[in-house]
Structure 1
């Protein structure tokens, strides 16, 4: 029986396939495969998604963190661009699966970890998403607090910073609760608005300072190659880890892609250019403030606070918009879907959004951002080491092990071919643990710390190799003939 149909590289369920899974305990409307009409995201939608997510206060501050560690401006910017070009590779590899089969990340994870084991990578990604949600709320809330203080009176209110933070947190949770479809509409018009506001800030800084300022001519404090590499590799891991979360759950968005071409071009153009460009704006504006105000001001809110009341008002709206577009898209969808996947018949996306907001508070973002050392090395570096192996398993499973052949209805059967033993694929669990353990062990061994400094990359490659080897001849694999038996094709469609 044909349970799925492939047309122009997009696989959807047939009516028989839909009937088979509709009553499954692993099914709900948010976790089901998308239908053909829902594949409507264009190249611009993906470009605007990444522009909206990348233009945020953490991006603005990222180059500042690298410069504080001793890099000059161009070393910091190139490190960020290189890191984003590297993480773009797994993003595009995992995007292919989401686009072709229309499944969200937790369902995609059932392939590698099993129907129950999928909670491991889904919750891991979800916890980090919640952490990022809190970080962005703290960035945005404290920025709003700074701007309100500049207007007078607000600073005399007891606990004003916490009021601004919790108010902004509540706004983020409320908008997230409305659901993921709002993301495409919001990003569509937010992306050009944020670009214009960022460029306006850059033009003001260069004009007011009468040039680019002293910071852009300041030499690197890392005078030897050894000194530079000691900072470069963990900084590169931090730059990669910045979006390694999205490398995992990008199927949550690409399941709506109109075509593979649309998602590849949109993401490839927007991600590295926006991250590099907005980081440069942060460096250039901070450099100009040395000339204008006699000190380097890395906080864009502190810069805006020196403007006129109208400019402060517009800047506040810009900060709110920048943080919302990042938080709703990048940091809520994955944890909300993970919560849905825990109990598909009882949990909704809205409930997941609320739980995400609560967990974000418990993770204390104010501590993570206490200094740039915590931000670059503790937060970004550590979770990069945890997610790299999962990225490796995902890539290996789809491209090397299954060769892009998936039986959609089996993903929704608790006792199906992707349930393995009692719902857990122990081969994936072992591959993940090995990929995590090797960098952690190398961190403790003199001379091998470079493995830890590149933990995301090393963990990805280790788990990719181990998982591919462990999954040889696994019963869950389908041959090309098996795939053809369940897949109908539209006229002129060839096997892919």
Structure 2
């Protein structure tokens, strides 16, 4: 059922979803292109399964598998690591669902949604920050995927591949595998969102079946679960554990904090609010918890089979000698890494870069920009050390993105009460133009929230780039809670700064 059209230029369906009355009315705007335009109701076809499959495909990847091992390397027991990962994913699901609502209701991607609060131009402040972090993640996942291809192909092709001449510190064949994997991802994103949806639909169950098959084989060979399940925490449950737990929890939240912002990029295609919310609830926390247990159980079995715990799934599959099994492992790793990297780390920056110059940069060109920057960031340095990976990379950018999430939550749910005006999201001089296209209140709230969150960034001696006493010593205690601090501080500051404007608007209305 469609409710009567309103003079506002948008039409509301009986289920609450909104679309433009006359889509052609915004096509001449310099802030418009086809990819950034609201998705018509008829094309919002993603179901509960599509969203669940998206999350299953994104969660089943090598960095997710290695999360438990990274926490155990820091001294946690498997129970502590499992609880930390599960709790982190339950917490990050909250802002994810809050931001997802706008995508489904209005059919717009994240950078256009951000225009309502940062301004039509100012949305690039939030969008490009999110985009550059995605480029880093794209590079990390592509490097890991390239390493996997190099390692497993070496089992099939022999020493000429494994022992190839070194170029820039790595065998040239490793660089070739890296660039090959990079190219595969560019092909998928060039073909568009519908290709991605179809890919995720079959990739998700395939990776689950392959992972379960590996678990069954390990348990059969080991005769049951091994000694890792009985291994106590080196940290205990006292002060030492809690000092590691807090920043680790923020790192687990930061792992998906990028998606907590840009889920409107996907939920804009949702058939209903119930479908997108249920699909995400079924897909994210359950899958991440399951995958953490899977990695723990498989590693436990390897300790019995090989006499050592092998946390890296690539090193485990290198133990296989059957060419068919190695080839299947290689294909599985490629599918698993492709499914997360294209969806999580290329779609968002493609929209974000397109939003920065809608008439010059298409969704596809934005994807190519992401690919180039993902190489330029030299991702191999970010994953070399769990201290750098969890405490520096994840914790630092988590605080920045938490600040943006705070502004969006305050604006959409508290101030605007889920009501946006679609035509003005593309208009110069409309209600979202603010001051020259920028809402300085949102920018100030984000900056203040970010400084509070990461201003105290610190590193233990020899374990990171920050001073031991923190960049701003008085803020050092807050860094262990960077994402939560950024979200809460930015949310409160934005509400405080916006209060005078709201009062003036109310007075004028009266």
What is the match of residue 419 of structure 1? Answer: 433
Q: Tell which has more relative contact order, 1 or 2 (C-alpha 8 A, sep 6+).
A: 1
Q: Does 1:63 align with 2:63?
A: no
Instruction: Say if 1:372 and 1:146 are closer, same or farther in 2 by CA, change over 3 A.
Output: same
What is the match of residue 493 of structure 1? Answer: none
What is the match of residue 4 of structure 1? Answer: 10
Tell me how far 1:381 sits from its aligned partner. Answer: 0.7
For 2:259 and 2:488, the matched residues in 1 are separated by: 18
What is the match of residue 184 of structure 1? Answer: 197
Q: Does 1:279 align with 2:275?
A: no
- Is the Cα contact below 8 Å between 1:402 and 1:478 reproduced in 2? no
Taking the TM superposition and a 5 Å limit, the aligned residue runs for 1:347-362 are: 347-362=361-376
Gaps of 5+ in 2: 1-6, 166-171, 458-469
The number of equivalent residue pairs is 478
For 1:298 and 1:137, the matched residues in 2 are separated by: 20
Q: Does 1:291 align with 2:304?
A: yes
For 1:469 and 1:342, the matched residues in 2 are separated by: 28
What is the match of residue 327 of structure 2? Answer: 313
- Is the Cα contact below 8 Å between 1:99 and 1:257 reproduced in 2? yes
For 1:147 and 1:70, the matched residues in 2 are separated by: 30
What is the match of residue 205 of structure 1? Answer: 218
What is the match of residue 39 of structure 1? Answer: 44
- Is the Cα contact below 8 Å between 2:400 and 2:454 reproduced in 1? no
What is the match of residue 279 of structure 2? Answer: 266
Taking the TM superposition and a 5 Å limit, the aligned residue runs for 1:79-478 are: 79-151=84-156, 152-153=158-159, 154-158=161-165, 159-307=172-320, 308-443=322-457, 444=470, 449-472=476-499, 474=501
- Is the Cα contact below 8 Å between 1:401 and 1:477 reproduced in 2? no
For 1:352 and 1:448, the matched residues in 2 are separated by: 36
**Please, what is the CA RMSD of the aligned residues?**
1.7
Give the TM-score taking structure 1 as reference length. 0.94
Instruction: Say if 1:476 and 1:179 are closer, same or farther in 2 by CA, change over 3 A.
Output: farther
Please identify, of 162-171 and 128-137, the stretch whose mean Cα deviation from structure 2 is larger. 162-171
Out of 1, 20, 31, the position equivalent to 1:13 is 20
Q: Deviations over 1:11-56 (max 9, x none)?
A: 01112xx232111111110000111111111110100000000000
Tell me how far 1:224 sits from its aligned partner. Answer: 4.7
For 1:315 and 1:428, the matched residues in 2 are separated by: 47
For 1:171 and 1:44, the matched residues in 2 are separated by: 25
1:5 alignment partner, SS class: strand
- Is the Cα contact below 8 Å between 2:17 and 2:106 reproduced in 1? yes
Please identify, of 426-435 and 175-184, the stretch whose mean Cα deviation from structure 2 is larger. 175-184
Give the TM-score taking structure 2 as reference length. 0.91
For 1:247 and 1:364, the matched residues in 2 are separated by: 25
What is the match of residue 486 of structure 1? Answer: none
For 1:27 and 1:306, the matched residues in 2 are separated by: 53
Tell me how far 1:477 sits from its aligned partner. Answer: 10
Q: Deviations over 1:345-385 (max 9, x none)?
A: 12111111111000001111100011111111111111101
- Is the Cα contact below 8 Å between 2:400 and 2:453 reproduced in 1? no
For 2:387 and 2:293, the matched residues in 1 are separated by: 20
Tell me how far 1:450 sits from its aligned partner. Answer: 3.8
- Is the Cα contact below 8 Å between 1:84 and 1:271 reproduced in 2? yes
